[in-house]
Amino acid sequence: MGWLRDWIMAVTCAAMALALLEGLVPDGAGKKVCRLAGGLALLLVAVGPVARLDPGEIAGSLADYRGELDSYEQALAEQSEERYKTIIAERTAAYIVDKAAEMGFSCRVEVTVDYDDNKLPCPREITAWGEWTPDQRDALSRIMAEDLGVPAERQHFEENLP
């Protein structure tokens, strides 16, 4: 941004100097020549920085910008994946809590989400805390296995609420 400020200052100073010089020159052919020379000088001041640009520097800046953009895209993709996994965990836990309520007991559920063989996020492990009968626990375990695909060895039941 510093170069842009410098460029604007140079063009502004050149325009002011041109206006002052044009005001000092008397009317006639001299004023026309002064306007032509001043216009060319202002054009050189305005276009000069563009002519001095180094193509290698521009390419390097663009490569740096592309690297930053790729980094931001990767961070955004990771953040999106984590958010997606969180949503799956929350909705899965709510589903289990609703099923438990239908069976007549309350519980708190924590779900761990991981990627399956198809690289899709799915419930991996479930921990439930609550008070239930053995039949209620078995029914909830079957729901976790059949509806959610979480086998019994990845289901954990704790008798007390944390």
Block mean pLDDT (10 aa), the chain, length 162: 76 87 83 85 81 72 85 92 93 96 94 90 94 93 94 91 56
Q: Is-contact 41 14, C-beta < 8 A?
A: yes
Task: State the Cα–Cα distance between residues 51 and 49, nearest whole angstrom.
Answer: 5
For residue 100, what pLDDT is reported?
94
Comparing CA positions, the residue from 92, 78, 85, 156 lying closest to residue 116 is 85
Q: Tell me how crowded residue 139 is: count the other CB atoms within 10 A of its CB.
A: 16
Instruction: Show the tokens assigned to 35.
Output: 């306007």
Q: What is the predicted pLDDT for the residue at 46?
A: 84
Q: What is the pLDDT of residue 1?
A: 55
Q: Report the alpha-carbon angle 71-76-82, nearest 5.
A: 130
Specify the pLDDT at position 60. 76
| pLDDT at residue number 120 | 86
Angle between helices 55-102 and 134-146 (to 10 degrees): 140
- Ramachandran quadrant class, 104 (left: phi over 0; alpha: psi -120 to 50; beta: rest): left
